[in-house]
Structure 1
Amino acid sequence: MTIRKLIANSWIDILSLIVISVIFVVPFIFIFLMAAKTGPEAALFQFTWPGQFQLFENIREVLEFGDGRMFLALWNSTLLTVGSVTLIVLFSALVAFVMQRRRGRARRDDIRRTPFCAHVWPDRGRHSGRVAARTGVDRGSTERAQARESPAWHDAC
């Protein structure tokens, strides 16, 4: 592959990497540099390397400020995050179970209205789409269960 083809095929990738680095990476570098500076240097808000690198001293000072208030805040954030993620996973599983058990057109419409990442498709084994196409069976759960009893289903697997 020539360099011209390589550039022609990957220009959007290169542009995306540049945009991502400007939007996401540069602010983190700025935060890192500001955290490593002394107080007067940080007050200038310049995107330069610190004259006196004191990142660890600044972090220690922040953590010790207010008799360890930062550790309490980190602990509270951890508790809230773990609790909320646990509840979200639990209730999402319950809703997915109910949606999967419903029959008829309303079920299909409900599933179409949910975000793609929220879909849970239980009871879909390996190659179920190809097997259903070969056996002529729709994806309905009763027809799928009946089809699994047929010899055509086992031959297709």
Structure 2
Amino acid sequence: MTRERTRAWIVGTIAILVSIVVFLVPFAFVLLQAAKSPSEASDLAFSWPKQFMFFQNLVDTLTSNDGVIGRAIINSAVLTIFSVLLMVIISAMAGYILARKRSKWGPVVNFFVLAGLIVPPAVVPTIWVLQGLKLFGTLPGMILVETTFGLSFCILLFRAFVGNIPRELDEAAVLDGAGPVRMFLRVVLPLLRPVIVTVIVVQAVFVFNDFAGPLYFLPGDQNVTVQLALYTFSGQNLSFYNLLFMAIFLITIPPLVAYIFFNRQIVAGMTSGAVKG
């Protein structure tokens, strides 16, 4: 027993050290460069700043290039919130139906859901569709694109989780006079909280950090997102590494905070449907 505990302690210590090296060290490097003067940051040295300019660099980053970083953060926040909201609503209902209802169309629907994870997105046809709907280059069009790309993953998570909810709850709700909509909203949906949190955090990080999607479907400076803004910012501020690293720091903070607060719910939601019982 002592040997097993010692082995577990050693493995845990190694895992913590690896996590520190892989995640915390790069984050600390970015934070240190963001607090330096332009001349110090250009050295790219892992050292404490001689002149602490964090807040000045923060103001300069948010106001440089006509405030593109601040505008990009707002656009990405709007894109993320509405995309994830649609994903949760649509995938929760679809996952519930696929897990509870048995029909001849079930295998066909499951095939297309899995195909959404395997088949790469078609860029040119998607652009044609958006242009036909007059949504190309707009945030509503990009919201629909992000929602569509994330639905397959979300539906699979909800379907697996609903499979672990006893059918007796549905039957009891029906006996109490609840209709399908009321049963889903009042009985099933509250039980889906772990997987809802998982979908929100995972998909929010994906949408917020998406680069290829806005590059193809959201051209223009007014609707620029954080990754496109960072790409443009890096090309225009190569001599000001302190501002570049400050921009990276600002873009990194929202996904990092979401993961810190919801990491347990993410694990619970990802593993809840792994074993059916």
Instruction: Pick the TM interval, shorter chain.
Output: 0.5 to 0.7
For structure 1, the residue ranges without an aligned partner over 5 or more in a row are 126-140, 150-157
Q: How many residues align?
A: 128
Amino acid at match of 2:100: R
Describe the SS at the equivalent of 1:91: helix
Find the counterpart in structure 2 of residue 95 from structure 1: 94
Q: Match of 2:65? A: 66
Instruction: Give the alignment of 1:1-157 within 5 angstroms.
Output: 6-103=5-102, 117-118=157-158, 119-121=160-162, 124=165
Structure 2 CA distance, aligned partners of 1:10 and 1:106? 51
Cα deviation code 1:50-109 (max 9, x no counterpart): 11111111111111113322221111011100011011112211211220232279969x
How far residue 27 of structure 1 moved from its aligned partner, in angstroms, is 0.7
* Greater shift in the superposed pair: 55-64 or 99-108: 99-108
How far, CA to CA, are the matches of 2:45 and 2:164 in structure 1?
58
SS of structure 1 residue aligned to 2:161: coil
- Distance in 2 (CA, whole Å) between partners of 1:84 and 1:71 is 20
**1:132-151, Cα deviation, whole Å (9 max, x unpaired):** xxxxxxxxx59x95xxx9xx
Mean Cα deviation higher: 30-39 or 83-92: 83-92
Of all paired residues, the percent bearing the same amino acid is 31
- Taking a change above 3 Å as real, the CA distance of residues 94 and 124 of structure 1, as seen in their structure-2 partners, is closer
Moved over 4 A (4+): 104-108, 113-116
Q: When the two structures are superposed, what TM-score results if normalisation uses the length of structure 1?
A: 0.65
Normalised by the size of structure 2, how large is the TM-score? 0.39
Higher Rg of the two aligned structures: 1
Deviations 1:110-157 (A, max 9, x none): 5xx7877432327935xxxxxxxxxxxxxxx59x95xxx9xxxxxxxx
Name the amino acid aligned to 2:35. A
